[in-house]
Structure 1
């Protein structure tokens, strides 16, 4: 099964993405273009959190955090599970974690690397 998965991803990388894949990628990037949503997703890549903890860590108002989490769940970037009366949120998978890490890593290098070192 592992060999099949490796072959599938290797052949996928050689094919141009379908229009639907471009549209899905643009939707994901558009969703992350909001600073609060990006910060929430970064927090969710680090650990699971409930809304109260996300409010405290992000500094955003509770209503705003709840609305952003609903959008992130609807877009398939975040998952939630019930723990008693609380909802616990986390990043959906390693693809989402990698996307968040890459975009924040890119931002770090834009801000901190000398222009000649960005090549």
Structure 2
């Protein structure tokens, strides 16, 4: 069993997935690298709202950013995030 501190960190990590907007952003990035404006258009959100959610997702190392000139391109940080999302869908599928 993990210790108290690690358990608290894990609980905070899973809280990140409890937000509808963040889940939609993660699924939009499932197989694509996207710019903030592309995410905003796909999700029907403002760029500032997307940027705010991306900051949280970066904080928890769920997405990574790559600079492309003056703009930033976002992607899932690694295969672990992909598996968390797809296994969650699999778990919920009838």
TM-score range, shorter chain: 0.7 to 0.9
CA distance, structure 2, for counterparts of residue 24 and residue 49 of structure 1: 28
Aligned match for 1:71, one of 56, 65, 88: 56
CA distance, structure 2, for counterparts of residue 22 and residue 44 of structure 1: 28
Bigger share in helix: 1
Kindly indicate whether structure 1 or structure 2 has the higher relative contact order, using CA contacts under 8 Å at least 6 residues apart. 2
Q: Which runs of 5+ in 2 are unaligned?
A: none
Aligned match for 1:29, one of 14, 18, 30: 14
1:86 Cα shift?
1.2
Please give the residue correspondences for 1:31-110 in structure 2 after superposition, counting only pairs within 5 Å.
Answer: 31-107=16-92, 109=93
Q: What is the TM-score when the length of structure 2 is the normalising length? A: 0.88
1:32 Cα shift?
1.0
CA distance, structure 2, for counterparts of residue 61 and residue 86 of structure 1: 16
Q: Which runs of 5+ in 1 are unaligned?
A: 1-15, 114-119
- Number of residue-to-residue matches in the alignment: 94
The CA RMSD measured in Å over matched residues stands at 1.5
Equivalent position SS for 2:55: helix
1:21 Cα shift?
4.0
